[in-house]
Structure 1
Amino acid sequence: MTARYLETSTGRRIAYHLTQGATPAVVFLGGFKSDMEGTKAVWLEAWAKAQGRAFLRFDYSGHGQSSEAFVDGCIGDWAADAQEAIETLTDGPLVLVGSSMGGWISLLMTQRIAARVCGLVTIAAAPDFTEDGFWASFTDAQKAALEADGQVALPSDYDEPYIITQRLIEDGRNQLVLRSPLPLPFPVRFLQGTADTSVSVDTAIRLLNHAEGADMRLTLVDGANHSFSDADCLELVAASILEVLARANL
């Protein structure tokens, strides 16, 4: 299937796949350096089609098939991409499904388009990771390099190192969600693997304790890693979406 493109108000071209169907629509928000062709996004699209439910997956700028360079982006840019894609391409109530960085961006969406969000499912959500992950772990030498060069290279589990820019860190401080009230007045399901080496169980518990809502649950999956993409994990994501939809009474 060929991606379609949204020309945003900022001049970026956002690649997306939109499935028409019943509302509430499900919107998948992917992770840092991930893209909409990942296992979870594609599997959930097929699941949504089988359910007859509207579904949107897309690539942030600098990711996948969208325009711009990854190193030029930041959380604020990607949140703006997400908001414009959602507001332009979907109608009515939404269930957001955010994976890793997409968990952080989905939390931002719950505050920025609050009237449309009727449910949230996160998978290894990584709120505030630029500050509490990258910046907090940097050595004095890395912080000096960031100041001098505007970027620092970090090893990754993938082929290329992560290039972390000063802009990413500084902009991230304007997007933090764990330092101020975070109302989530709708059904919320946080999913987290205990074998995740990128996002800790402590982060998941911190998010659960910090957010404010009457219907929030955290599910820990013993032995699941950060990808959360085996058959059992995918079925749990789908079941969580259905549970959120049922409890939203829409």
Structure 2
Amino acid sequence: MTHPAPQFFDGPKGRRLAYHQTKGTSAAPGVVFLGGFKSDMGGTKAVHLQEWAERTGRDFLRFDYSGHGESGEAFEDGAIGDWAEDAQAIIEGVTTGRQILVGSSMGGWMSLLMCKRIAPRIAGLVTVAAAPDFTEDSMWAGFDSAQRAALQRDGRVALPSEYGDPYVITKRLIEDGRNHLVLRDPLVLPFPVRMLQGTADEDVDQSVALRLLEHVEGTDIRLTLVKGADHRFSDPECLALIEASVNKVTARVTRAAG
């Protein structure tokens, strides 16, 4: 299925954000996909969900943070706070009513920040290999003394990536991340939450999912572990599980509203 060229939204501080939006006919909450670190809205999960939304008549939004995909700015100039500002601005700016967020990897962290910042707009949450606080608990914690010294000296360090070019991690990314951690303070999620995690994920260990499950507070929170699934979580079975999770959250939200 082909999709038209993206639309653009004037985001915070003049950052130009690319997005695709589907206007549905359903009265159910809209769905917003929040992608991962150095990922983009053209990924398998995001496009699959748009096609699902078009089939089922659901409002749907996918977008690129600044420095990602088709949006403006340079990736290395961005940080967690910038991307959270982007997410909040575009959700508030182009969607109406309450939304179900689907956050993948870093998008899981972004989604949790949205649950704190714009709580009245959030109807439910689905996370896929959520990576909250990864700049601190994965990157900084995993740096050796030479990498930490390089970060302080040069303001950046390059990390190898199996997805292509090395990731350039800036000192600002690490320091700014500390201002947006979500696992250090109480985190109440008073709506249906479905968390998905693969056991063969080499980027986000399943211990992160278990820590998140233990940390959050709410009455309708479930974690599903998929044996053998990797970080991409994009094979047909995993995509079907994401769909099913959004449908389950929708049903719970609709029932509560009724």
Is the TM-score greater than 0.5? Answer: yes
Q: Which residue of 2 aligns with 1:36?
A: 41
1: CA distance, partners of 2:43 / 2:194: 21
Aligned pair count?
250
Q: Which residue of 2 aligns with 1:20?
A: 23
Q: Which residue of 1 aligns with 2:227?
A: 222
The structural deviation recorded for 1:141 is 0.9
Aligned counterpart in structure 2 of residue 208 of structure 1, from 213, 221, 224: 213
Superposition RMSD in Å: 0.7
CA contact (8 A) 2:12 2:85 kept: no
Q: Which residue of 1 aligns with 2:129?
A: 124
Q: Which residue of 2 aligns with 1:53?
A: 58
The structural deviation recorded for 1:159 is 2.0
Q: Which residue of 2 aligns with 1:151?
A: 156
The alignment status of 1:4 with 2:7, answered yes or no, reads yes
1: CA distance, partners of 2:147 / 2:110: 26
Matches within 5 A, 1:211-250: 211-249=216-254, 250=257
1: CA distance, partners of 2:149 / 2:125: 39
The structural deviation recorded for 1:52 is 0.2
Q: Which residue of 1 aligns with 2:140?
A: 135
The structural deviation recorded for 1:9 is 3.5
2: CA distance, partners of 1:19 / 1:10: 26
Stretches of structure 1 that go unaligned for 5 or more consecutive residues are none
Aligned counterpart in structure 1 of residue 167 of structure 2, from 141, 157, 162: 162
Aligned counterpart in structure 2 of residue 94 of structure 1, from 81, 96, 99: 99
Aligned counterpart in structure 1 of residue 109 of structure 2, from 104, 111, 126: 104
Q: Which residue of 2 aligns with 1:189?
A: 194
Aligned counterpart in structure 2 of residue 78 of structure 1, from 83, 90, 94: 83
The structural deviation recorded for 1:116 is 1.0
Stretches of structure 2 that go unaligned for 5 or more consecutive residues are none
2: CA distance, partners of 1:24 / 1:159: 36
The structural deviation recorded for 1:158 is 2.1
Q: Please, what TM-score do these two structures have when normalized by structure 2?
A: 0.96
